[in-house]
């Protein structure tokens, strides 16, 4: 009886195995690939192939095009810079649609505005490929631990087919509604993050200029209910001038562009987010784009 039971369990495991493709091997894409390779076969594509080669040591296969990757995979996760990049890997020469097959599903984990996301999902559907938007909260470290928050928009039936994979990446997964819902939630969340980084930065600056130790300022702050994950984890690094990137400042500025574009489309007035975008834009122009987004402190100090 035990042999039969184990055989059934093994067959079930085999049934749940998927070939998963990751397009975009930046900080987040690479972390997701490394998280999934212990339970699934993982293939990756990156526009600059050399940057993806480092993943081969983990047993991850690097493909030459999105088309080649699509031909081998049941499920593709895209983690690219913006809507333009997503459309290129999806519909361009040797794009995903040229490698389509009946089982293929796409989930976009990039940060783009929900209007663009809906248009891209429709174009995928017109080509016979179901797509959900599935952006995440949490950086590369949480991705490798499977502790991100995944926010999904799109058909629930499609979501349910890939939920077991998303659950490996995310501690919590939310299905929020129709196409674009995940990205709408993501940019609403990122507006909070951008403003919070500015608020903590100004608190540190004011404390320092007043003759106080910024670390003491953070200790007091984190002893109150105004404490946040950013003030407790990122705050001490900020005070010490450590801006090793988990999410680049220039990418936060790009996301602020997406937030303001969406706000105009839906008729929302966001004066603080608009001001934040101007500050982040100036920081990028002054050469602060390739440090962590919390490096906005360094820009404000200088």
Question: Measured between alpha carbons, how far is 232 from 210 in angstroms, rounded to an integer?
Answer: 21
Q: Is 134 helix (H, G, I), strand (E, B) or coil?
A: coil
Q: Which residues contact 248 (CB under 8 A, 6 or more apart)?
A: 289, 290, 291, 292, 293
So what's the pLDDT on residue 16? 63
Q: Are 76 and 104 in contact (CB under 8 A)?
A: yes
So what's the pLDDT on residue 17? 78
So what's the pLDDT on residue 12? 39
pLDDT 10s digit of each residue in the chain, 302 long? 333 344 443 343 444 678 999 999 999 999 999 999 999 999 999 999 988 999 999 999 999 999 999 999 999 999 999 999 999 999 999 999 999 999 999 999 999 999 999 999 999 999 999 999 999 999 899 999 999 999 999 999 999 999 999 999 999 999 999 999 999 999 999 999 999 999 999 999 999 999 999 999 999 999 999 999 999 999 999 999 999 999 999 999 999 999 999 999 999 999 999 999 999 999 999 999 999 999 999 999 99
Residues 61-100: pLDDT tens digits? 999 999 999 999 999 999 999 999 999 999 999 999 999 9
So what's the pLDDT on residue 151? 98
Phi and psi at residue 171, to the nearest 5°: -70, -35
- Strands, DSSP E only, in the chain? 19-23, 41-45, 61-62, 75-78, 105-108, 131-133, 136-137, 148-153, 170-177
| 237-241 long-range contacts, CB within 8 A, separation 24+ | 237/294, 238/200, 238/201, 238/204, 238/294, 238/297, 239/204, 239/214, 239/215, 240/215, 241/298
């Amino acid at each position: 009886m035990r042999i039969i039971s184990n055989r059934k369990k093994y067959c079930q495991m085999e049934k749940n195995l998927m070939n998963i493709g990751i397009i975009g091997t930046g900080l987040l894409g690479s972390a997701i690939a490394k998280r999934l390779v212990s339970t699934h076969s993982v293939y990756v594509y990156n526009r600059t192939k050399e940057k993806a080669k480092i993943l081969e040591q983990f047993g991850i296969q690097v493909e030459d095009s999105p088309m080649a990757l699509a031909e081998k995979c049941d499920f593709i996760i895209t983690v690219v810079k913006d809507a333009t990049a997503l459309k290129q890997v999806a519909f361009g020469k040797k794009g995903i649609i040229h490698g389509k097959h009946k089982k293929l599903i796409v989930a976009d984990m990039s940060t783009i505005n929900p209007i663009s996301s809906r248009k891209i999902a429709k174009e995928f559907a017109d080509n016979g490929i179901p797509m959900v938007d599935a952006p995440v909260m949490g950086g590369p470290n949480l991705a490798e631990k499977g502790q991100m928050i995944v926010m999904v928009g799109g058909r629930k039936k499609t979501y349910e087919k890939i939920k077991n994979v998303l659950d490996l990446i995310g501690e919590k997964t939310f299905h929020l509604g129709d196409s674009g819902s995940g990205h709408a939630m993501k940019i609403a969340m990122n507006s909070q993050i951008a403003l919070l980084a500015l608020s903590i930065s100004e608190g540190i600056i004011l404390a320092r200029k007043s003759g106080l130790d910024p670390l003491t300022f953070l200790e007091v702050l984190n002893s109150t209910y105004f404490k946040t994950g950013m003030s407790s984890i990122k705050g001490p690094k900020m005070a010490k001038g450590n801006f090793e990137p988990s999410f680049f400042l220039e990418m936060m500025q790009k996301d602020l562009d997406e937030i303001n574009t969406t706000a105009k489309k839906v008729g929302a007035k966001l004066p603080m987010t608009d001001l934040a975008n101007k500050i982040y834009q100036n920081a990028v122009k002054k050469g602060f784009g390739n440090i962590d987004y919390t490096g906005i402190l360094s820009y404000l100090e200088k």
